[in-house]
Structure 1
Amino acid sequence: MIEQLNWAPLFVMTLQVGYDRAQRFGTTPIGYRACFPVDGGRVEGDRLRGAVNGGGADWITIRSDGVMMIDVRLTLTTHDGALIGMTYTGLARAKDAAHAERFRNREVLSFEETFLHTTPRFETGDARYSWLNDVITVTNGMRSATGGVYHVFEIL
C-alpha cells in the first residue's frame, strides 16, 4: 500500500512578468529557449508574506512535444525585512490544442485549465526563517493577465 502524502498550504505567490521584454533565443538543440524577466510580485501566507523583488527571471525551454520546462530564480523580501532566495523548476503543458493556443496568446488560464506544477526550494541566512532551508514544497499554478499565480504547499 502506498502511504498518503501529508501537505499544508504555505503561501500564494503572484508574479508580475515582463512578457514583452522576453529574451528569445529561438530553437536550440534542446528546444525553444526564452528568458522572461520577473519584475515583482507578492507572497501571502500565515508563516511567510512579503514581496517578490524585481530582477528574477523565468528561463523556459519548450520541448519538441510542446511541454514547457520552467526554471526560475527569485528573491523574496519578507514583511519584516528578511531576504530569501527561491528557486523552482517544473513543467507546464496544455490540456489540448485550444488551451495551447490560449497559452501562446497570453490569455488567463484557470487552475482547472492548466497543468503547471513546480518544486520550489528556499535559502536564507535569517534565523527567523531558517525552517525554509529544509522545507520541500510543490505548487499548483495558473497564468493571470500579468504573470504566474502559484499555490505553494509544504510537504509535511
Structure 2
Amino acid sequence: MEHLAAPTLTFLADMELTVEGAYLPGQTHIGERRIIRVTGGKMCGNVNADVVPGGDDWITVREDGTIIQDVRILLNTEDNALIMMTYRGIRTGPKDVLQRLDNNEAVDPSEYYFRTAPVFETAALAYEWLNRRLFVSRGIRLPGKVNYSIYTVD
C-alpha cells in the first residue's frame, strides 16, 4: 500500500466575527443548546469581504463541556460577490478553561483546541474556485467576538 505525504496548508484569510450574547434553549435530547447571532465582521486576505449581519452559530455543548459548532454566515466581497460560508467546528479543553471562555474572558488559545472545517458556496465566477477546495481553520474566542485563520488544504 502506498503512503501519501500529508497535505500542505496555504493561508486563505483571517476572519473576525462579532457576536451577540447567547440564546439559551436549554438541555435537549442532543445536548445543551446555545444559539449565537453573528452581528457582523470582516474577512481579510486572499478573499476580502464583510460578514453580513444575521448569521447564526447553533452550538451543542457536550457533557464534558466540548462545544460543537454549526455555523452559517454570508460574506459580501469587496467587489460585491456573495459567498455562503458554513462550518462545523469543535472547541474543547480543560473544564476550568472552558468555564473562563463561557464567562467571556480572554484565554490564551494555546490552552484549548478550537478548529473548524469551512465550506464555501458561491455563484460568483471570480470566487468559483472556493466551491472546489477543502479548508480548515484555527480559532480563538475573545470577548464579544471570534477570530479565525483559514487555510486551504492543498
Structure 2, gaps ≥5 residues long:
none
CA distance in 2, matches of 1:97, 1:68: 12
CA distance in 1, matches of 2:33, 2:140: 20
Map of 1:116-135 to 2, 5 A cutoff?
116-135=114-133
Give % identity: 36
* 2:96 aligned counterpart, secondary structure: helix
8 A contact 1:110–1:143 mirrored in 2 = no
CA distance in 1, matches of 2:138, 2:49: 20
Deviation at 1:63, TM superposition (A): 1.0
Deviation at 1:91, TM superposition (A): 0.7
8 A contact 2:65–2:95 mirrored in 1 = no
Map of 1:51-70 to 2, 5 A cutoff?
51-70=50-69
Matched, 1:100 2:98: yes
Q: Which protein has the bigger strand share?
A: 2
8 A contact 2:75–2:82 mirrored in 1 = yes
Matched, 1:9 2:11: yes
Deviation at 1:135, TM superposition (A): 1.5
Residue in structure 2 matched with residue 71 of structure 1 by the alignment:
70
Q: 116-125 or 138-147: which moved more?
A: 138-147
Structure 1, gaps ≥5 residues long:
none
Residue in structure 2 matched with residue 147 of structure 1 by the alignment:
145
CA distance in 2, matches of 1:4, 1:61: 31
8 A contact 1:68–1:92 mirrored in 2 = yes
RMSD of the alignment, in Å? Answer: 1.1
8 A contact 1:108–1:144 mirrored in 2 = yes
* 1:99 aligned counterpart, secondary structure: helix
* 1:55 aligned counterpart, secondary structure: strand
Instruction: Return the TM-score normalized by structure 1.
Output: 0.93
8 A contact 1:73–1:88 mirrored in 2 = yes
Matched, 1:26 2:26: yes
Residue by residue, what CA displacement relative to the aligned partner does 1:20-68 show, whole Å, maximum 9, x if unpaired? xx221100011000110000000000x2011011010000000112211
Residue in structure 1 matched with residue 107 of structure 2 by the alignment:
109
Deviation at 1:70, TM superposition (A): 0.3
Amino acid at match of 1:129: Y
Residue by residue, what CA displacement relative to the aligned partner does 1:103-145 show, whole Å, maximum 9, x if unpaired? 1211112321221101000000010100011120001001112
